[in-house]
Amino acid sequence: MITDNDDVLTLPNPSDSNLFIRAGTSGVRHLFPIHLNDLDYSDDLFCRSISHLRFHTSTTKLCANIEIIRNICSSVQTLEHLDISENELDDLPTEICLLNHLRTLNCSHNKLSTISNSFESLNQLKRLDLSFNNFKCLPTVIYTFKHLIRLNCECNIIKIIDIDLLNLKYLKILILDHNQIQTLDTIDFSQMKKLECFHIAHNQLIKFPRNLHKLTYLKNINLSHNRLTNFPIELLLINTLDVL
């Protein structure tokens, strides 16, 4: 079951992982992985039958045809959770911008390097996964997602984090592992008051993130495999940590 407070998207396992959906899904809240081909999707009945869906789960390896992803987004604009991971996408289909109710978007394991500013329409987004892509910096549109609580950008080639990260006032989980970040000096982490989990392992940091130790809800930090030469004594000032 998914609730507004969940940090991670979890859905029950389908009873039949090879389920073919063609009709009769009106009112369904969870749509399990669909095996579609061009013949299946050419049927207008399919588009009409999914018009009331709230959830469309993983399109991974099932809807590799970008036109199918576009048509799903155009037909089911009430979607709240969308997974388009592992589709070898160079760009996000602009039709995703139509999903004004979207709360979770998984774009991991693609070939993305940028996201258009037109995606600022996704202003209800709470969870965004951009891991395992080709980003050199965080797309500026991310900083407009004011309700974001979880952001995963691990395994990219990010070198710089913009000060506009501080716009994400409700962010609880920030994952930046396996990038090329050298400094976070422009970020005053004391302003990210909701932050509970911060992972920035396997980067090139030489300094402890500024004022990170002043966060009152911080429970989990991973700074391993960086270029720190001394133990950051600021860690001793954090009495809320569960994992280090």
User: The domain that contains 140 carries what CATH number?
Assistant: 3.80.10.10
| Alpha carbons 42 and 241: distance in angstroms, whole number | 53
| Alpha carbons 91 and 211: distance in angstroms, whole number | 36
**Which residues have CB under 8 Å from 175's CB, separation 6+?**
131, 151, 152, 153, 154, 197, 199
Q: Is residue 98 part of a domain?
A: yes
pTM for the predicted model, two decimal places: 0.76
Name the token pair of 149: 């609580």
Q: Is residue 13 part of a domain?
A: no
Residue with tokens 């507004």: 4
Go through the chain and tell me how many residues it has.
Answer: 244
Q: Is residue 227 part of a domain?
A: yes
Name the token pair of 108: 């991991």
Q: Summarize the confidence of residues 158-187 as an average pLDDT.
A: 96
Q: Is the Cβ–Cβ distance between 92 and 115 less than 8 Å?
A: yes
Give pLDDT, residue 23: 27
Q: Is residue 233 part of a domain?
A: yes
Q: Is residue 146 part of a domain?
A: yes
Q: Name the more confident of 20 and 110.
A: 110
State whether residue 122 is helix, strand or coil.
coil
The total domain count for the chain is: 1
Q: Summarize the confidence of residues 10-15 as an average pLDDT.
A: 41
pLDDT in tens, 123-136: 999 999 999 999 99
Domain span including residue 48: 38-237
Q: Is residue 17 part of a domain?
A: no
Q: Hey, what amino acid is at 187?
A: I
Strands 81-83 and 55-56: parallel
Q: Is residue 25 part of a domain?
A: no
**Which residues have CB under 8 Å from 174's CB, separation 6+?**
151, 192, 195, 197, 198, 199
| Alpha carbons 173 and 197: distance in angstroms, whole number | 5
Q: Is residue 171 part of a domain?
A: yes
pLDDT in tens, 175-213: 999 999 999 999 999 999 999 999 999 999 999 999 999
